[in-house]
Amino acid sequence: MTEALTITTSPRDDHQLDITIQLGPERTEQALHRAAKLVAKRAKIPGFRPGKAPYATVLRLFGQKALLGEIVDDLGQEVFKEALEQEKIDTYGQASLKDVQTDPVSFKLVVPLRPSVELGDYRSLRLAAPEIKVEEADVEAALELARGNRMTWQVVERAAEIGDTVVVDIVGTVDETPIMDNHDWELVLRAESGWLPGFDEAFVGMSAEEERSFTLTYPEDSASRYKGQQVNFQTTLKSVKARVLPEADDEFARSLGDFADVADWRAKTTARLTDERTAEAEREFENSAVKALVEQAAITYPPSALDDAVHEMLHDTERQIGQAGYKLDDYLRLQGMTTEQYAEKLRPAAEQRLKGRLVLSKLAEQEQIVVAPEETQAELDRMVSQGEDEARTKTLRDVFGSPAGLTLIEADLRTKKTMQRLRAIVTGQDSELVPDVAPASDVEPVAESAS
């Protein structure tokens, strides 16, 4: 019997497959008859009612190539699906059609393959668990920051120092050309940060009602048109203001929020800093664990998988920019970049995200991590309980209670459980690891990124 399809495959270096599908004579004849029926219904063929012209007549009038052109898209999809099933090819996304021939009928395609991951001896990975410490100095620094945020300025009867604010009248000239003439100008004195080298320092030591003249030189590398020239200043200091910090007493602590006294503020601040540092340390630890898992794994994926990851990050940026009231194109224009340039800039981070997802998905498979329906339902109930009002609660339940929403919740929980297992592995704390299972060749990426 003549073969209906002849399939030739050839692996590529980029985790894709070249595939050629050629129709046998019998299958080609069937396709031509199908096409002829379609053409006979649509075309006006002299001597025949629509759809009644015989196959031989239609073939003679239109030719094999034209007839096949009528059904090439449907035929291509049909035989491509058959070829995938026959050859047991697991694809990732859409294939690219490279060439179609009509004599004999053949289709040449490039097929992206599903990503493949081999984790290696991941159970030998070891990382030190983060140690979280909040010292007394950290609490003191937080207290000083709180005092600084409530700082006021107060006129003082002393000479000016760095850190003070001075109120001055000042005239500046270059070769008798005025370049500034300010009255009651308030200037915060900062060491080595003035608009001219030595400018702020020139006011140090001056007292109220004191006059002073001084000369400075614009640096040679200055962008000013006066670079390299001297500028003469005539100043009169009106007043000096110093920073006044509130006393760190119980009254101040109560003004900061729900605190009984300074001791209560210190205790709650210690707990808050501990929570913040713990969360940050855990994020960094998880990233390190995933990075270690990636580094020892053998990961292959088609270019389209990385393209998808880049497009996802572009969409994330677009959504974030949109929340601020901007369009992505306008934002990128301000950065001096096109969308294509920005996408290229995202590629390394997108690759890191993709690899992280792939290894976590493979780890979940190898460790047989599953999420029970009752776990998903409990998480849905928790999310819905956070609704601020009845309308918000209903919206949350409608969105996340749908099949798609429950799938997202399940994927998120699976990722979290996988990260917990990875943490236990790399710290040597998991004493009940399941036996190794035979690795699968394909990977279904998990929903959340570890980056």
Domains and CATH numbers, the chain: 5-113 (3.30.70.1050), 152-244 (3.10.50.40), 283-426 (1.10.3120.10)
Bond from prior residue into 348 cis (ω within 30 degrees of 0): no
- Give the pLDDT confidence score for residue 431 in this predicted structure: 55
Model pLDDT, residue 2: 43
Residue with tokens 């120092």: 161
Cα 291 from Cα 313, distance rounded (Å): 19
Q: What's the Rg (C-alpha) of the chain?
A: 36
pLDDT per residue rounded down to tens, the chain (451 residues): 346 789 999 999 999 999 999 988 888 888 888 878 888 878 888 878 887 888 888 888 888 778 777 778 888 888 899 899 999 999 998 899 898 888 788 889 999 999 999 999 999 999 998 999 999 999 999 999 999 999 999 999 999 999 999 999 999 999 888 999 999 999 999 987 667 889 999 999 999 999 999 999 988 887 778 888 999 999 999 999 999 999 999 999 999 999 999 999 999 999 999 999 999 999 999 999 999 999 999 999 999 999 999 999 999 999 999 988 888 988 888 888 999 999 999 999 999 999 999 999 999 999 999 999 999 999 998 988 876 778 888 888 888 889 999 999 999 999 999 999 999 999 988 655 544 444 444 444 443 333 3
- The strand pairing partners of 18, in sequence order, are 10, 110
Bond into 104 cis (ω within 30): yes
> How many helices, marked H, and strands, marked E, lie in the chain?
11, 11
